[in-house]
Amino acid sequence: MLKGNFFRGLGYLGEGFRLIRQPGLRLFVVIPLVINILLFGVLFFFLGELFAGLVAAAMAWLPDWTWLQSLDWLFWILYGAVILLMLAYGFVIVANLIGSPFYGYLAELTEKHLTGQEVNTDDSWASIIKDIPRALWREVQKILYYLPRAIGLLIIGLIPVVNLVAAVLWFLFNSWMMALQYVDYPADNHKVSFPALRRLLGDTRLSAFGFGLPVALAAMVPILNLFVVPAAVCGATAYWVREKGATRN
Q: pLDDT value at position 84? A: 63
- 230 closest CA partner among 31, 90, 39, 87: 31
244: helix, coil or strand?
coil
pLDDT digits (tens, 9 = 90+) for 5-43: 899 999 999 999 999 888 878 777 787 778 777 776 776
d(CA 223, CA 29): 15
Quick one: pLDDT band at residue 120, thresholds 50, 70, 90?
low
Q: Decide if pLDDT at 65 tops 80.
A: no
* ∠ Cα 233 243 206 (to 5°): 90
Give the pLDDT mean for 139-150.
86
d(CA 8, CA 11): 5
Name the helix (H) or strand (E) containing 9.
helix 6-19
Instruction: Name the more confident of 171 and 233.
Output: 233
Instruction: Name the more confident of 88 and 98.
Output: 98
d(CA 82, CA 215): 16
Percent of the chain with pLDDT over 70: 67
205, 94, 50, 222: CA torsion to nearest 10: 70
User: Which residues have a Cβ under 8 Å from the Cβ of 109 and sit 6 or more positions away?
Assistant: 24, 25, 28
Average pLDDT, the chain: 78
Please indicate, yes or no, whether the overall pTM of this predicted structure exceeds 0.75: no
pLDDT digits (tens, 9 = 90+) for 191-225: 888 899 999 999 999 999 999 999 988 887 767 87
User: Which residues have a Cβ under 8 Å from the Cβ of 103 and sit 6 or more positions away?
Assistant: 28, 32, 96, 185, 229, 230, 233
